Amino acid sequence: MRFVNLLSFSLLQASAVLSTLLDDRSAKDIASKRPNHPIQPHHPGKAFQSSPERNKTCTVKSSGNGKDDSENILQAIKECNNGGHVVFPKNEKFTIGTALDLTFLKHIDLDIQGTIQFTNDTVYWQANAFKQGFQNATTFFQLGGEDVNVYGGGTLDGNGQAWYDLYAKDIYILRPILFGAIGLEGASISDLKFRYSPQWYTLVANSSDVVFSNIDIFGGSVSKNPAKNTDGWDTYRSDNIIIQNSHIDNGDDCVSFKPNSTNIVVQNLVCNGSHGISVGSLGQYAGEVDYVENIYVYNISMSNASDGARIKVWPGAASALSGDLQGGGGLGAVKNVTYDGMSLSNVDYAIEITQCYGQKNITLCNQFPSNLTISDITIKNFEGTTSKKYDPLIGYLQCSSPKVCSDIKIENVNVKSPSGTNLYACGSITGIETQVNCKSDGKKGGDS
């Protein structure tokens, strides 16, 4: 009897080991190969550390039927942290209904082949999403740590319709951001689809050495209530960031460089329906110092947008753009920013530079000039057509004082309005009249 029991026990052990080996082999079989997207043609200059191969594979199991998979996801990530590869299998749908703090990641690949959808429980997320300390930004999750790769060809879905409808009733609700890269050092995020974010699609905060490649962003409302503030990317207190080779169809900034964004390259993007590639807004909070420096934007296709290249700075006194967006009086600088190559179609302004963001009264703006300077700006090699909105104007260049706005160069901009003109509204920028055709009265052709 003892021999039989021992034999049975040994067979059970062997079966368990074999099952584990088969599961591991099966996981490896369905794992994606990590993509290789070269950073080209432009590079911020700082080298990126290599990411070693992973030595373990874990598979996330879907509970199905809309059940919360957060626990399964967290378990797989913890099991494969420090050198592993986590697979979200193709053709499977995962539901997240719990705020996940994933800022502990180290040497890990997240291979998202299936679909991850966040629940539309607006009450829960307003109470539990992670507050990021800038413009009431919150995120469904926080992805942070070091040496992290996220890819796989799958989809992250923010289930935004409930939020678009709720925001139409109450502009003060806290809408989560779909993808939160928070405290991420050394990472690549590529080959993913982002859909229906409640607010911004991506926030990159307190991060460095991060590359985004081949990201497809899309999402609009199916009701009368539009999807508002759906920026593609917002960078904040981050350095050495690349955003490249992506397609963005959204309703706000295609990319926005928020305070203390430095050494960033944005290249080879197709943007539709956006508010342009934007610096800012900056200087929103009185007494705080905002810097945006060393930015290169290259080879952008911009269609059906409010702006192409845009720099937006708050004036020196308090102003209000809307009930949930107001400010002014902040300090700092925008310096060494280049927009090189943009193809425009049906864009309201090809170029917009303002230090009067949120202040429609230009006289009042000039009485309280911005405390944040703009200098060493180059905008070149633009072509295309603007929309009818501000015709005959194609651009708006309005600083609050020549003393805080200097060294702005605009060259080889071959953009026409529908009526065939290339006029700009200009004000308080020394020497700009020798570079572009300024409208004589310097007034803006409409609201921004």
Known catalytic residues?
275
What are the beta bridge partners of residue 416? 385
Listed residue (340, 276, 331, 279) closest to 308, CA to CA: 276
* Residues contacting residue 148 through CB under 8 Å, at least 6 positions apart: 105, 106, 108, 109, 110, 184, 186, 187
Residues 395 and 365 sit within 8 Å (Cβ to Cβ) = no
Q: Give 157-183 as a DSSP string.
A: E--THHHHHHHHH-TTS-PEESEEEEE
Structure letter (DSSP) for residue 433: G
Listed residue (293, 284, 378, 387) closest to 335, CA to CA: 293
Structure tokens at 68: 């919360």
Residues 395 and 352 sit within 8 Å (Cβ to Cβ) = yes
Kindly list the distances between the CA atom of residue 179 and the CA atoms of 15, 340, 363, in Å, as whole numbers in the listed order: 41, 28, 40
CA dihedral of 246, 247, 251, 256, whole degrees rounded to 10: 20
Listed residue (371, 332, 337) closest to 353, CA to CA: 337
Q: Give 208-247 as a DSSP string.
A: EEEEEEEEEEE---SSSS---S--SEEEESEEEEEEEEEE
Residues 341 and 378 sit within 8 Å (Cβ to Cβ) = no
Residues 126 and 139 sit within 8 Å (Cβ to Cβ) = no
